[in-house]
Amino acid sequence: MKGNTTTKIALSAMLASLTCVATMIIQIPSPATSGYVNLGDSFVIASAYLLGGIWGAGAAGLGSALADILSGYTAYAPATFVIKALMAIAFIVIFKALSKLNLIDALSSALAAICSELIMIFGYFAYEALILGYGAAALGAVPANLIQGAVGAFVGVLLVLLFSKNKALSHVFSVFRKNHNDSQKQ
């Protein structure tokens, strides 16, 4: 059991790091709120798919919040942690529910990704409008968040499809799936 926990922590840390780097490496400025469009959401989706619920949410939230801190957007870090964690949880819950309906992985992951990106768009709008005090001006960030959501969903779905076909990655991440399946049987 201890080896599985160590493996889970290591893989979660790796995906948190990849999420952070993907968020920071390409930043297209959004003039509405001085934020930026990035590719981090694709690894939020990948983390959810590869790690599942809590571990995927932790990796997605931590990696994204760390990118905010390192990029000078510290005021967004708490919201980012919560929003990205919720995105990961929503993705995997919806993906699994749709997979039980025998939909193809591409359709299941696309619908789950769209739903998770809607959480991002609404989450940042609510945070900027209510917590940061932008009020209605927070609507100015919605178009950039729509673009980020579309790009994140598209690339995220491609990653899910790539990972679902990769036997080596499936073996590495089997520790998450095995424990998840064992807990469902109990």
Question: Taking the chain, what is the end-to-end CA distance rounded to the nearest angstrom?
Answer: 17
- At residue 183, the pLDDT reads 43
Tell me whether residue 184 is in a domain: no
Domain annotation covers residue 116: yes
In the 8-state DSSP scheme, what is residue 131? I
pLDDT one-digit tens code per residue, 15-45 = 999 999 999 998 877 766 666 778 999 999 9
Residue 152 domain flag: yes
Closest CA to 118 of 160, 86, 92: 86
The tokens for 114 are 């769209």
Q: Is the pLDDT of residue 111 over 50?
A: yes
* Residue 34 belongs to some domain of the structure: no
Say if pTM beats, i.e. exceeds, 0.85. Answer: yes
Confidence (pLDDT) at 1? 44
Judged against a pLDDT cut of 60, whether residue 52 lies above it is answered with yes
Q: Is residue 33 part of a domain?
A: no
* Mean of per-residue pLDDT scores for the chain: 88
SS3 content of the chain, % helix, strand, coil (to 5): 85, 5, 15
**What pLDDT score was predicted for residue 3?**
58
Average pLDDT of the residues in 94-101? 93
**Residues 169, 171, 172, 174, Cα dihedral to 10°:** 120
Task: Decide if 169 is inside a domain.
Answer: yes
- Does some domain include residue 121? yes
pLDDT in tens, 124-168: 999 999 999 999 999 988 988 998 999 999 999 999 999 888 777
Total length of the chain:
186
Helices then strands (H, E): number in the chain? 8, 2
Using the predicted structure, report yes or no on whether residue 81 has a pLDDT greater than 90: yes
Indicate the number of domains in the chain: 1
Q: Three-state SS for 53?
A: helix
In a domain, 158, yes or no: yes
User: Can you give the residue range of the structural domain that contains 59?
Assistant: 2-26+40-178
Q: CATH no. for residue 152? A: 1.10.1760.20
